[in-house]
Each structure stands twice: as C-alpha cells, then as structure tokens.
Amino acid sequence: MTMEIVLITGMSGSGKSVALNALEDAGYYCVDNLPPELLLPFVTLEQKHQASRVAIAMDVRSATSLPQVPALLATLRQQGIAIKSLFLDASTDTLVRRYSETRRKHPLSQAMNEGADLNRVLVEAIELERELLGALREQAHVIDTSLIRPSQLQGYIKEVIRLPGGQLTLVFESFAYKRGIPVDADYVFDVRMLPNPHYEPELRPLTGRDEPVIAFLRAQPEATSMLEHIEAFLSLWLDAMSQNHRSYVTVAVGCTGGQHRSVYLVEELARRFATRWATLRRHREIGG
C-alpha cells in the first residue's frame, strides 16, 4: 500500500491548526510540529504500522533544521511515497491583527526590554519567518488565508487532497481588487475593463456562476477576447512549467467586486483546462 503524506507548513498564525483539523476529519493520522530530524524515522515507523495517509505540520519552531526538509522530501519520493506539500500564507497586516487579537507571542519574538515597540518587533519576527520559510514556500501549493474563513480553508484543503498526485495542478481564483490581490497568485489578470454586470439591475444580485450573467458576458466581445488571450498565454507556458517540476500554479483573476466578471472567467478557464490538467476553482469573495 502506497503511503500518502501531506506536509503542512506556513506562517505562524496562518491557519495550520485549521488545516490539520480538516485532514484529521478526512481520515489522516496527524502530527503537529514534527522536527525535521525525525521525519524519516517517523515515516519508517508508520510504514511498519501500515499507515496509508499521514499529515505532518512543521513550522518555524524548527527553524535551524528546516533547510533539511526539501532533501528529506526528495528521499521519501524516491521511496515511492506520494507527498503533497501545502504552505499557508497571509499578509503581514493580517498576521499582526491576528496576534493582536489573540495576544499570543510570535515564536521568533525575543525577550524585550520594558518600553520596546511590540508591534515593530512582531513585524520584524514575521518578516524573518518569511525569509526562513522561503525555500519551503517555493516547493509547495500556497494558500492565502488572509481573507478567507476557517470553513473555506477546510474546504480548500479537502479539495487539494482529492487531486491525483504527480502532475501539475491549476488553481483558478477570483478576487476583488478592493480587498487586495491574493498573495498566493503566480499569475494575476485584471479584468476590470470588461463590461460590468453590476450596472444591470437584474444582474446585480447574481454571480458569474448564474446563467443570466454568463449570457451577458458571453455576448461581450471584450470578455471573449480576454478569455481567449488568457487561455492562449497559459497554454503556451504550462508545459514548460510542468517540465520544471512545478506542482501547482495559481491563476488569479480580479475585478472590482469579485462577484461577476472574475467569477465568470475563472469558471470558463477551469472548464477549458480541465481536459488537460487537474484544476481547482476558488471564489474568494463569494465563498465558493
């Protein structure tokens, strides 16, 4: 029986506990904060116990040994173990707010003298953590948790683990520019210049998944042209990215409110590419 390992890393405060709980609910044996030095012995032990699905969380508390992780993962893959690596991220402002709300201390915060600027020290700790985790982020599927609810994150995690391993996965994500660009995006396409269904009273409460909005946008030459240009660009480069051992590519499409135009284009792009690649679709602002 082939063992499957889901490795969860990411920024402190980005939702790793939520992700681990989602995997536990999905039937994975979960281990939190496993030191990298114990990864290979732990896997060997679980193989003896005939464990088939294991989820492991590692974070910056193991900072000194984190550089070992990519090589350790390569060793496990050579043994035939299927590995999916997830990296949870969030904007610095979001992480600062979460720490302020919970009053927890960042694991990289140092003891400070009386009168120290706690907010400045927290920001510095977060930026140092980003630097230390940079290599792991580059090799993982990144999920931006800045503006999503825990229930959305749980849904995202469960979608990812259902995908077949060993091939490139495309993630198409719609968003609203007024709420910021997703930090997990590899490519960002701005579609705010397209005709906006928001200004049609009967279409305003609907989304880009609803047939009246779809019909409206399909009738717009600009929307058709934008769709074809994005499809052509991705088609040109995805094979090269796959050959470069990329496991995930996130394509973000943004409009003003993240409800109509970007949602429509994400749905269309996911449908067109689903015959060639494993695809996921996400709609940050409408919760789908």
148 and 259, same structural domain?
no
Who wins on pLDDT, 195 or 238? 195
**DSSP class of residue 111?**
P
Residue 180 CB contacts under 8 Å (≥ 6 apart), including other chains: 91, 146, 147
Q: Give the confidence band of 273 by pLDDT, cuts at 50, 70, 90.
A: very high
Kind and range of the H or E run holding 270: helix 261-273
- pLDDT score recorded for residue 1: 65
Residue 18's domain comprises 4-162
Compute CA 105 distance to the chain's CA centroid, rounded to the nearest angstrom: 25
pLDDT digits (tens, 9 = 90+) for 98-119: 998 888 888 887 644 444 566 7
At 166, is the pLDDT very low, low, confident or very high (cuts 50, 70, 90)? low
Residue of 241 and 280 predicted with greater confidence: 280
Residue 155 and residue 176 in one domain: no
pTM value is 0.84
Q: Are residues 253 and 134 in the same domain?
A: no
Q: Could you say which of 137, 162, 187 is where a domain stops?
A: 162
Does residue 52 have a pLDDT over 70?
A: yes
Give the model's pLDDT for residue 245: 67
- The CATH number of whichever domain residue 52 belongs to comes to 3.40.50.300
